[in-house]
Structure 1
Amino acid sequence: MQCHHFDAARCGSCTLIEQPYADQLAAKQQRCAELLAPVGPVDWRAPVASAESGFRNKAKLAVGGTVDAPTLGILDPGGAGVDLRDCGLYPATLQAALPVVAAFVSLARLVPYDVPTRRGELKYVLVTESPDGELMVRFVLRSTEALPRLRKHLPWLLGALPRAVVVSANLLPEHKAVLEGEQEVVLTERATLRMRVNDIDLHLRPQSFFQTNTAVAAALYRIGRELVDASAPRTVWDLYCGVGGFALHVAGPGREVVGIETSTEAVASAEQSRDDLGLAGVRFAAGDATAFALAAAAPPDLVIVNPPRRGIGPALAGWLEASGVRDVVYSSCNAASLARDLAAMPSLRPTQGRVLDMFPQTGHYEAVVALTRA
């Protein structure tokens, strides 16, 4: 992939961009295999490749510049805005929406937040595109000061960008290095973006997490479904379930599925998808995955875990080791924490593994491993 922003040293986010893609993919597979080698032999299947460019479904854009000439992209070390609207990681359809969003910033007088002086209102613009081309546009603001102008000029945005079906304002009053605050104000009638993945419509709310590579996420859920079906469990837990991707894919006749997730927004999204599909045997609840497992009266036949980068941790790993759970499907975005967690569950032996390149041009990737009790 060639990038004029990288060549001009304006953006170095794609740390592996100068390596041929086949070499990137092979190195990720090798690195993952090396990290998991101490826990036992793994039958590594061929890695799942991604498109090299245009694969991101979400643009996370720091806002800089001025209200009349805003930049959407990143901030340089001095806090000045670097415009990356034409970033090659975004598909052309997503890129095409960003000039309209920038024009709206000027029209609504959303003054870019200046990090060095801590003045201004608009910190980030977050734009997510569904497989159908619909958009969710979120404006991360320092306060409610700009909300009346957002509402006043919203009809212009919806007219100029009719694909924007969900528009919201997120409030982040603190001066800290986070992307969003706790409070969300939805400005449109619709509050969810429909993300069609395989044969399932997942409903994404503004503060719900979704994988940034839709095509590879679809492959991940298909692989998860195949691994679960091969074990033929009657009861399944999906811990750290997010918007229910794994839980909804593995649901079926005669199978009870429970999904646990800390985000109430994500749980509401998962429940909406479940109801649309008419899946009576699937239940979702908001809560801590470890606390749920430790308090359960009995374990299920199979557990799916898809934790954040820190992994599942010693408490849940210890519970899985002692629980008698027959099978585990572990999806990880950090092979180092995956290896650490597997070492804490020696009775659950890895049988099959797959690397999925969710993040081309970087050193990050997803790995999914099937475990069976020895």
Structure 2
Amino acid sequence: ALPYPGQLQKKQAHVQKLLGGFGPVRPILGMADPWHYRNKAVSTFAAGPGRSLRSGIYAQGTHKVVPVEACLLHHPALDEAIAAVRTAAAACRYEPFNEDTRTGLLRHVLVRHSRAAGEVLVCLVTATPELPGSRAFVAKLRQLCPQVSTVVQNINPRHSSAVLGSAEKILYGRGCIQDSLCGVRFQVSASSFYQVNPVQTELLYNQVIAAAALTGAETLLDAYCGVGTIGLSCAGRARHVLGVEVNRSAVQCAVQNARLNGIRNARFVCADAGKAMLDLAASGQRPDVVILDPPRAGSTPEFLTALDALAPRRAVYVSCEPATQRRDLEFLVQRGWHVEHIQPVDLFPHTEHVESIVQITRM
């Protein structure tokens, strides 16, 4: 494996090659300790030797489970919890689900860790709603791993590679854990979208806040806002925050997160971000700053046209895929926008991924 300084050089060169033509690329921000950073893990169950229960990850391009006892990227509490789940499940004689015969019970376990509170959430994904001896399972699990503060059963009967199904039962605790980013608290459930590297996420958000150049007087539009992590992190430095997100459950979480923190200058709406911006432009409302953090596929021509029509003083484009960000920046530069600077951030050490933050202004 490439040593970490070499990984950072490679990612810096990648961003420079893709985006350097638009403006200055600052040095990439890496991690001081690039190990054990993940606060979420998923392990898939399979039958081991002598009907034993094992869990791990799929071998690339297959559905063959490779057993995993520990991972250098996981927070150690995650591996401890997964091992405890295996032991407790074996004690309860739970069978792993077999995709070919459609028999058995256990499909996956999803675990999350809160850096702020030290809590662990365990979500056991089963093929059917019945979980015999669930109280005994929870008692054994918590005896083995006292950090587990909540246990949830997720029911996923579908023929699908998706880990989670839509139905859920709380077996123990609140059904969620609480974590904090940039001084803002967030409720995190099994299905919440929440960044998996909290140390680098705080660094990323602080760079976004700096690029937004907020003075406390601005109206900020947080497009693709998810559960509100970026917008709520900015709320203390803005006059008003409007978050727009097309996923209704994410919007509900954002509203709850604002309430949890007593943040009153943030509002969240469920809508297509491009359409919402066109509506704002048509009604003469113009935010001072737009932050956009689209999915890996990047933004859309409709959104970018709406951003151009809205004409904020500046925009901050956060991307997890610099190739699609390059395409979108070309669109904006052709319409008179100017790239002030590009800041790469290594959110996922020991992977190919790199994030980049671009500050753009109207010419």
TM over 0.5: yes
Q: How does 1:185-200 map to 2 (within 5 A)?
A: 185-200=169-184
Give the secondary structure class of the aligned counterpart of 2:57.
strand
After TM superposition, give the deviation of residue 232 of structure 1 in Å: 6.1
With over 3 angstroms needed to count, the CA separation of the structure-2 counterparts of 1:288 and 1:156, relative to structure 1, is: farther
Q: How does 1:143-158 map to 2 (within 5 A)?
A: 143-146=128-131, 148-151=132-135, 153-158=137-142
In structure 2, distance between residues paired with 1:75 and 1:120: 18
Note the residue ranges of structure 2 that are not aligned, 5 or more in a row: none
Q: Is the 8 A contact 1:327 1:348 kept in 2?
A: no
With over 3 angstroms needed to count, the CA separation of the structure-2 counterparts of 1:140 and 1:373, relative to structure 1, is: same
Indicate whether 1:48 and 2:35 are aligned. no
Match of 2:295 in 1: 308
Count of residues in Structure 1 that have an aligned counterpart in Structure 2: 354
Indicate whether 1:349 and 2:329 are aligned. no
Q: Which moved more, 1:290-299 or 1:53-62?
A: 290-299
Find runs of 4+ consecutive structure 1 residues off by over 6 angstroms: none
Deviations 1:21-53 (A, max 9, x none): 111111111111211234x22x32221112332
Give the secondary structure class of the aligned counterpart of 1:35.
helix
In angstroms, what is the RMSD of aligned CA positions? Answer: 2.2
With over 3 angstroms needed to count, the CA separation of the structure-2 counterparts of 1:144 and 1:71, relative to structure 1, is: same
Q: Is the 8 A contact 1:208 1:242 kept in 2?
A: no
TM-score by length of 2: 0.90
Match of 2:97 in 1: 113
In structure 1, distance between residues paired with 2:279 and 2:52: 55
* Aligned residue type for 1:326: R
Indicate whether 1:58 and 2:40 are aligned. yes
Q: Is the 8 A contact 2:45 2:65 kept in 1?
A: yes
TM-score by length of 1: 0.87
In structure 1, distance between residues paired with 2:55 and 2:17: 39
Deviations 1:107-161 (A, max 9, x none): 3433212234333222211111110321111112222133x43355323323432
Match of 1:86 in 2: 70
In structure 2, distance between residues paired with 1:357 and 1:136: 26
**Aligned with residue 201 of structure 1, among 177, 185, 193:** 185
Indicate whether 1:71 and 2:79 are aligned. no
With over 3 angstroms needed to count, the CA separation of the structure-2 counterparts of 1:183 and 1:209, relative to structure 1, is: same
Match of 1:323 in 2: 310
Match of 1:33 in 2: 16
Indicate whether 1:135 and 2:120 are aligned. yes
Give the secondary structure class of the aligned counterpart of 1:345.
helix
In structure 1, distance between residues paired with 2:168 and 2:244: 22
Match of 2:161 in 1: 177
Note the residue ranges of structure 1 that are not aligned, 5 or more in a row: 1-17
Deviations 1:229-288 (A, max 9, x none): 357662111112122211111113661101122334433332233223222111123333
* Aligned residue type for 1:332: S
With over 3 angstroms needed to count, the CA separation of the structure-2 counterparts of 1:154 and 1:36, relative to structure 1, is: same
Q: Which moved more, 1:228-237 or 1:134-143?
A: 228-237
Give the share of equivalent positions with the same residue, in percent: 30
